């Protein structure tokens, strides 16, 4: 049951990351990687605080980050469509 809460919470966090990345189009690749690392670390800390299991927290964080990056183009398309 706790993992469902964590996945939902991390989906919101990764949506926030995608919005921030979309707004920072002119930033360098290095700046975007630093931003990604920060979001990844905060997502892991949030999962570890709820689950109290480092292994499960890491697996859920990697899974949600991978899913967010796979769905990035669709998410940006939806955001740009809604803001027009």
Determine contact, residues 3/51, Cβ cutoff 8 Å.
Answer: yes
Q: Render pLDDT for 6-64 as a digit per residue (tens, 0 to 9).
A: 988 999 999 899 889 888 888 899 999 999 999 999 999 999 999 999 999 999 999 99
User: 3-class SS at 1?
Assistant: coil
Closest CA to 40 of 21, 79, 20, 66: 66
> Domain extents for the chain?
2-82
pLDDT for position 78: 81
Residue 4's pLDDT band (cuts 50, 70, 90): confident
Instruction: Look at residue 76 and tell me whether its pLDDT is greater than 80.
Output: no
70-79's contacts with Cβ under 8 Å and 24+ in sequence apart are 72/18, 75/15, 75/18, 76/18, 76/22, 79/18, 79/19, 79/22
Q: How confident is the model at residue 43, as a pLDDT? A: 95
């Amino acid at each position: 049951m706790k993992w469902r809460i964590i996945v939902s919470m991390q989906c919101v966090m990764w949506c926030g990351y995608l919005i921030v990345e979309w707004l920072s189009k002119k930033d360098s690749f290095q700046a975007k990687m630093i931003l990604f690392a920060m979001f990844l670390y905060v997502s892991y800390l949030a999962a570890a605080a709820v689950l109290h299991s480092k292994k499960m927290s890491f697996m859920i964080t990697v899974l949600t980050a991978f899913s967010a990056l796979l769905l990035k183009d669709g998410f940006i398309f939806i955001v740009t469509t809604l803001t027009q």
